[in-house]
Amino acid sequence: MRILGVDPGLTRCGLGIVDAAGARRVSLVHVSAATSPSTADTPARIGRLADAIERVLDEHRPDAIALERVFAQANVSTVMGTAQISGVVMLLAQRRGLPVTLYTPSEVKAAVTGEGRAGKAQVGYMVAKVLGLTEVPKPADAADALAIAIAHAWRGAAAPVGTGGTTAAQRLWAEAEQAAKRRR
């Protein structure tokens, strides 16, 4: 399965694609960060990012999209930009018939590092390690997009179907989901 992970943002939008095979195996297909100048008006910025996302969708043809869930911050303009780009991603996915799954930052961190409160450096390190890269993808938005794609790949592959039990990764995932709900 080919998964596009998206770390949405109006200034930088991380785009990371992995191919997922069984037994938690993932390989890098593409990583980039689409950008828009903060001096441009918002419609032009959204259009520029939408074009970049469409090019990645057309070139790499993912089977699914994993998108970071928008969460409230003190800076309303940051939340608005993130939400606007998230809406663009959802629209482009819907037009292509692609499923979209949303993940909180804590869910992604727990899936990739085992710790829902891991820092950016730890997430980047694990992304590089999991994908066999010699260095962490830059900027951080690109590494985060890969982490989102990896989290999606691993969420369904954490335990063999029909085992009835849960793995350590699944328990961590459930704990991260509960922690995120408590903070709302």
Which residue of the set 7, 19, 51, 63 is catalytic? 7
What is the band of 177 on the pLDDT scale with cuts at 50, 70, 90?
low
Does the annotation count 7 as an active-site position? yes
Across the strands, what pairs with 26? 20
Is residue 116 a contact partner of residue 123, using CB atoms and an 8 Å limit? no
Residues making up the annotated binding site for Mg(2+) are 7, 68, 141
Is the model more confident about 113 or about 71?
113
CATH of the domain at 81: 3.30.420.10
Place of tokens 């969460």: 71
Per-residue pLDDT band for 158 (boundaries 50, 70, 90) equals: very low
For residue 104, give its domain range: 2-183
The residue annotated as part of the active site, out of 135, 141, 144, 175, is 141
Q: Which of 54, 68, 107, 144 is catalytic?
A: 68
More confident residue, 181 or 153: 153
Q: What is the pLDDT of residue 176?
A: 65
If you write DSSP's letter for every residue of 109-175 in order, what string do you get?
HHHHHS-TT--HHHHHHHHHHHHT-SS--SSHHHHHHHHHHHHHHHHTTSS-TT--S--HHHHHHHH
Binding-site residues sit at: 7, 68, 141
Tell me, yes or no, if 141 is annotated catalytic. Answer: yes
Residue 58: the pLDDT is 98
157 pLDDT exceeds 60? Answer: no
Please check the confidence at residue 99 and state whether its pLDDT lies above 50.
yes
Overall domain count for the chain: 1
- Catalytic site includes residue 107: no
Confidence (pLDDT) at 100: 96
